[in-house]
Amino acid sequence: MYGGVVVKGSVNSNSTSLAVCFSRAQKGRKQKQLSSSIDFSNTNCQLLSSSSSCMPHRTSCFGLRLDSFSMGTELTRSSLFRSRPIVKALASGGGGVGDVEEGRPIKSVEDANYVVPPQQQQGKASTGTVFPFVGVACLGATLFGYHLGVVNGSLEYLAKDLGIVENTALQGWIVSTLLAGATVGSFTGGTLADKFGRTRTFQLDAIPLTIGALLCATAQSVQTMIIGRLLAGIGIGISSAIVPLYISEISPTEIRGALGSINQLFICIGILLALVAGLPLAGNPIWWRTMFGISAVPAVLLALGMAFSPESPRWLFQQGKFSEAEKSIKTLNGKERVADVMTDLTVGSQGSAEPEAGWFDLFSSRYWKVVSVGVALFFFQQMAGINAVVYYSTAVFRSAGIASDVAASALVGASNVFGTTIASSLMDRQGRKSLLITSFFGMAASMLLLSLSFTWKALAPYSGTLAVLGTVCYVLSFSLGAGPVPALLLPEIFASRIRAKAVALSLGMHWAANFVIGLYFLSFVNRFGISSVYLGFSGICLSAVVYIAANVVETKGRSLEEIERALNPTI
């Protein structure tokens, strides 16, 4: 476990002179220290002198980019949050904001010269108060999953009610319009969150989610239904961007990894709730309206809950609202951690000297390889057919002769939740790459089984059972790797200066591929047959295995620099 890091200094308008003491305490060993004098001038940091009795047993990087280092070692900002040492800043003459004007946005290193009051003491994070706010945010993830899955059982009944039973093209548009809206929402969610803050963006997000749900529930025409689905799609697209962002920014370091996978878990729960909500349809054909209408309730609760939730300390700090950031940290982590988190934010902002990349930079030789990996992972994730299963499993089970088709779909949803829960415990033990390969291989085998169950005459008596078994195995395989891993892998492989735009581009591919599957799946089934379509999905899964084996690097236990060099040796 890393020991304390003490930063002492004075602040002026030109530079900040700091004396930094890095220490690492290890069980059974004496404490080792390295003392250095660092001068911050503009956005560059140079080590002026160094004296040490001995180097730490293991090199730690603390978020400062040192352009020159007397020992020839370059530290990069991206390593700061890998080890997360405790940082404490002490001002010689009391505490305060130094020469930073309260409320002025952080745009440069000089703007980030925040000095933590000396009376604040370090301590362990109080994680208990974080969970209610994570729970409120996860209402957005639940609605994400619910709106994806709600058409599964209801499509047949709403098609009869709206008079489009024979028009599979319009049915496809009802499904895929949600995804078109989500594409727009995913690109705008980050911009809204940066402009208005995370909690306010959640409240804005509740507007299209609520209106869209009510329009779908009361629709008397296909046009109204499509508009409602479009608005709901914009809402879930925004949620897909801000839910993981907010959770990561309010979570204490000690449990950030565990909470990082909770977003995917609640998406799966939302899908399961949508499938369970469809159970009364057999006895009540107009129940589909209730299924859409009830989703307005959690949307309203999301807006109300965010009115009482703390804003992201990181966003408040970036806006220069230091007092509000301290209050937010106190609410989330306890007053004993205010100094630690505020100085982490300060050091992190001082370490960022390289400007944010533009869109065209993503396609440069320096970044394209790593960006293409993120885009490809989401392409394979969606083109492997997962949402064809989510949207249409009830119809497929019905064609296989299963009487309780909606109940069978609910079983599929339960397997999704179960698999995602298991995946969260395997992520750091098995590694990301191995989980992805195993997951896609299992999906390929399951789709092959499904394809054979519809065409092999010897299996005809068991086609219903095999259809359910193959679908459950497919979804379980997906939830163990192909589902949760890409979203967790992206922050690890994208450098900080390209992260926002690279994630947006990858999510754009996610929603575009999802849109294509939702729009054309039924048409492809009618033209080529369900067996051929599932065989095609199996082939895509095998292609994903080959691609991942050749291009994805294992990130478990590796620094961000090692990952970047592995993906692009020319850097």
CB 296 within 8 A of CB 146: no
91 φ, ψ (degrees, to nearest 5): -95, 140
Q: Rounded to whole angstroms, how far apart are CA atoms 211 and 209?
A: 6
User: Which of 242, 244, 224, 212 is closest to 146 using CA atoms?
Assistant: 212
Q: Rounded to whole angstroms, how far apart are CA atoms 541 and 450?
A: 14
Q: What tokens does 259 get?
A: 């909470």
DSSP 8-state secondary structure symbol assigned to residue 54: S
Residue type, 365: S
142 φ, ψ (degrees, to nearest 5): -65, -45
Give per-residue burial for 421-432: e unless 16+ CB within 10 Å, then b. Answer: eebbeebeeebb
DSSP 8-state secondary structure symbol assigned to residue 482: I
Output helix, strand, coil percentages for the chain, rounded to the nearest 5.
65, 10, 25
Q: What tokens does 413 get?
A: 């949803």
pLDDT in tens, the chain (571 residues): 433 333 333 333 333 333 333 333 433 443 333 333 333 333 333 333 333 333 333 333 333 333 333 333 333 333 333 333 333 333 333 344 444 445 555 554 445 455 555 444 444 545 457 889 999 999 999 999 999 989 988 998 999 999 999 898 899 899 889 989 998 998 888 788 888 999 999 999 999 999 999 999 999 999 999 999 999 999 999 998 889 888 878 887 666 656 767 888 899 899 889 988 988 887 888 999 999 999 999 999 999 999 999 999 888 988 888 889 899 888 888 887 788 888 777 765 654 556 667 888 888 888 888 899 999 999 999 999 988 887 777 777 776 666 666 677 777 778 888 888 887 777 767 778 899 999 999 999 999 998 888 888 777 777 778 888 888 899 999 988 898 888 778 877 887 677 778 887 888 888 888 888 878 888 888 899 888 999 999 999 999 999 999 988 887 766 555 666 666 665 5
CB 521 within 8 A of CB 533: yes
Sign of CA dihedral 66, 71, 72, 78: negative
User: Which of 435, 434, 423, 396 is closest to 412 using CA atoms?
Assistant: 396
- Which residue, chain included where needed, has tokens 């996978």? 261
Q: Rounded to whole angstroms, how far apart are CA atoms 562 and 555?
A: 9
Q: Rounded to whole angstroms, how far apart are CA atoms 173 and 225?
A: 10
CB 539 within 8 A of CB 448: no
CB 286 within 8 A of CB 144: no
Q: What tokens does 170 get?
A: 């319009």
Specify the pLDDT at position 354.
60
DSSP 487-544: HHHHHHHS-TTTHHHHHHHHHHHHHHHHHHHHHHHHHHHHHH-HHHHHHHHHHHHHHH
Q: Rounded to whole angstroms, how far apart are CA atoms 540 and 384?
A: 6
User: What is the layout of strands, in order, in the sheet containing 15-24?
Assistant: 66-68, 44-52, 32-41, 15-24, 4-11, 86-91
User: Which of 429, 414, 454, 423 is closest to 538 using CA atoms?
Assistant: 454
Q: Rounded to whole angstroms, how far apart are CA atoms 399 and 551?
A: 39
User: Which of 501, 502, 518, 490 is closest to 181 using CA atoms?
Assistant: 518
User: Which of 201, 314, 304, 305 is closest to 251 using CA atoms?
Assistant: 314
Each as own residue / partner, the long-range contacts of residues 437-440 (CB below 8 Å, 24 or more positions apart, any chain) are 437/481, 437/545, 437/548, 437/549, 438/477, 438/480, 438/481, 439/477, 439/478, 439/480, 439/481, 439/482, 439/483, 439/485, 440/380, 440/384, 440/477, 440/481, 440/482, 440/541, 440/542, 440/544, 440/545, 440/548
Residue type, 254: E
| Distances, alpha carbon 254 to alpha carbons 26, 127, 141, 312, in Å | 18, 9, 22, 17
Specify the pLDDT at position 103.
56
Q: Rounded to whole angstroms, how far apart are CA atoms 569 and 555?
A: 16
Specify the pLDDT at position 526.
86
Helix (H) or strand (E) holding 11: strand 4-11
User: Which of 186, 134, 406 is closest to 274 using CA atoms?
Assistant: 406
Q: What tokens does 17 get?
A: 């002179």
CB 330 within 8 A of CB 336: no
Q: Rounded to whole angstroms, how far apart are CA atoms 164 and 560?
A: 52
Could you tell me where the DSSP H helices lie in 50-163? 80-83, 130-162
SS3 285: coil
DSSP 8-state secondary structure symbol assigned to residue 63: S
CB 233 within 8 A of CB 178: yes
Specify the pLDDT at position 17.
35
If phi > 0 it is left, if psi is from -120 to 50 it is alpha, else beta; for residue 96 that is left
Helix (H) or strand (E) holding 262: helix 262-277
Range list of β-strands (E), 154-229: none
Domains of the chain: 4-112 (no CATH), 120-309 (1.20.1250.20), 357-571 (1.20.1250.20)
